[in-house]
Amino acid sequence: MFDKLAKLADPEIRAKNLTAARHRVREAAFTVLQPDMPDPVFVIGCSRSGTTVTFETIAASGHFLHFDYEIPQFWNSLHGPLTNGWASEAAVVVDAQPQHRDRALAHFYARLGAGPVLDKTCINTLRVGYLHALFPHAKFVFIQRDGRDNVSSMIDGWRLGRSDGGFGLEQFFGPSPEPVAINAGEFREWHFFLPPGWRDHNRASLEEVCAYQWLTANRLALDAARAIPPQQWIVLRYEDLFERPVDMFRDLFERLDVPFDTSMTERCASLASRPTSIVKGAPKKHKWKAHNPQAIERILPMIAPMMRELGYDPND
């Protein structure tokens, strides 16, 4: 009893409770008012593929409502490991329920207001068909990256974490229902996201796990994209962030019906020199050669077919 009273007196806890109560009221208001909420724009791509800098650049236009963080906990509350028997964080068309759309729009409205929403949550790369079923007019901005660099960056992320914490999944789901001993026991939990078939890789090497995550994310996205109208599926290359950033984002903004003014031109022109990574430094082509060359050489046969499908030469 005394613990409960102490919590009620804690200013931080009281503020959180008040905020949660306001959100519940606004979610209820959404159900009654049914304000105009166009289908979102989803920025997707495998973890460490350039989704953050892409999202931040689109958000800087001021055209979209958005959170400044990812919301995997929300999307997983609709369908995820704790509701699907720990199958994975993926979701497909048959998992889409009408109430999921209503809950998502109410969630956005209560916290952001009414208007077009920009969402960047990397697990949604595993949920394209599901999201398209819920939001048939949504646009998807899909970022792809050379598999060697992407997998290398994921290896760094597993090992180094980020400035504000790690990428481990126990913080969201609790302990895994299956023992995890990745890289001979170096890792006892999965990081970044939980792909379908994860149980089969619980004792794999770190580079094999990261390669499997990259392959799965890209495979699921590409397969689901076949059912999406071309005007709603926009593909970007990570490498263009430092090879042709202004042209890349000008084209993207045009397809999103967003003005691309002088300030955006200047912002995009400086992307190549910005330290965009939250793990290790500025973007750079063939970064894997300096970071994890032996590991990447070992998994290159595994990722080479997908690299070719995405338009990369695994031998260059």
CA 234 to chain CA mean position, Å:
15
pLDDT digits (tens, 9 = 90+) for 178-229: 999 999 999 999 999 999 999 999 999 999 999 999 999 999 999 999 999 9
What kind and span of H or E run contains 213?
Answer: helix 206-225
Beta sheet of 41-44, edge-to-edge order: 118-120, 41-44, 139-144, 233-237
Query: Vertex 52, ends 270 and 69: CA angle to 5°?
Result: 130
For the chain, report the end-to-end CA distance as a whole number of angstroms.
66
Q: For position 4, what pLDDT does the model report?
A: 56
89 within 8 A of 126, measured Cβ to Cβ: yes
pLDDT band at 238 (very low <50, low <70, confident <90, very high): very high
Contacts of 115 (CB under 8 A, 6+ apart): 37, 38, 64, 65
**Beta strand segments in the chain, E:** 41-44, 118-120, 139-144, 233-237
Residue the block writes with tokens 């792909």: 195
Alpha carbon distance 122, 44 (integer Å): 6
pLDDT of residue 290: 86
How many percent of the chain have pLDDT more than 90?
78
**pLDDT tens digits, residue range 270-280?**
987 665 544 55
Is residue 194 a contact partner of residue 89, using CB atoms and an 8 Å limit? Answer: yes
**How many H-runs (helices) and E-runs (strands) does the chain carry?**
15, 4
Which helix (DSSP H) or strand (DSSP E) does residue 93 occupy?
A: none
**Rounded to an integer, what distance in angstroms lies between the CA atom of residue 56 and that of residue 53?**
5
Domains in the chain (CATH in brackets) are 36-309 (3.40.50.300)
Helix (H) or strand (E) run with residue 150 in it: helix 147-160
